[in-house]
């Protein structure tokens, strides 16, 4: 089984301040652990795919606007510390690795270097909005994902 999710870090970015509370991270980790343990208990192996970076802008519109203005698509990139949720991913990875039969799949290196998460990669638009992959770019990740899952 393969699981992906809109990470708690991204949920927090999208949620109004009044809905946020201090226990969100703990509740999320508990829920993830419980879900994975249920599959593990049933003998089902699970691959959990780390959420993709969350862009500061709608990538498709930003890149189109940049190109129209004669700019490079890189003006639409987002700093890694704002896009990748590395702390949340570390907590997620720890939870996944604590459950027998669960594997953590992290393709963040395909989007981000140490400082920046890119929206235009190898001549392709990587995202169709702030956090959904553009289909051609997603298809280019298939060999890496297949290797990681199988």
pLDDT tens digits, one per residue of 70-126: 999 999 999 999 899 898 889 899 999 999 999 999 999 999 999 999 999 998 999
pTM for the full model?
0.84
| Residue 48 φ then ψ, to 5° | -105, 120
**Band of the pLDDT at 12, cuts 50, 70, 90?**
low
pLDDT tens digits, one per residue of 24-76: 778 888 989 999 999 999 999 999 999 999 888 899 999 999 999 999 999 99
């Amino acid at each position: 089984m393969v699981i992906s999710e809109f990470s708690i870090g991204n949920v927090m970015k999208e949620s109004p301040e009044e809905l946020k509370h201090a226990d969100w991270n703990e509740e999320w980790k508990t829920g993830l652990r419980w879900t994975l343990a249920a599959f593990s208990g049933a003998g089902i192996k699970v691959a959990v795919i780390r959420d993709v970076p969350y862009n500061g802008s709608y990538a498709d519109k930003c890149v189109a606007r940049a190109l129209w203005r004669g700019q490079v698509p890189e003006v639409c990139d987002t700093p890694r510390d704002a896009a990748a949720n590395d702390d949340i991913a570390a907590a997620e990875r720890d939870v996944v690795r604590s459950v027998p039969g669960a594997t953590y799949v992290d393709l963040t290196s395909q989007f981000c270097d140490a400082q920046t998460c890119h929206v235009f990669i190898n001549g392709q638009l990587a995202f169709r909005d702030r956090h959904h992959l553009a289909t051609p770019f997603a298809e280019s990740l298939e060999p890496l994902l297949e290797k990681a899952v199988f």
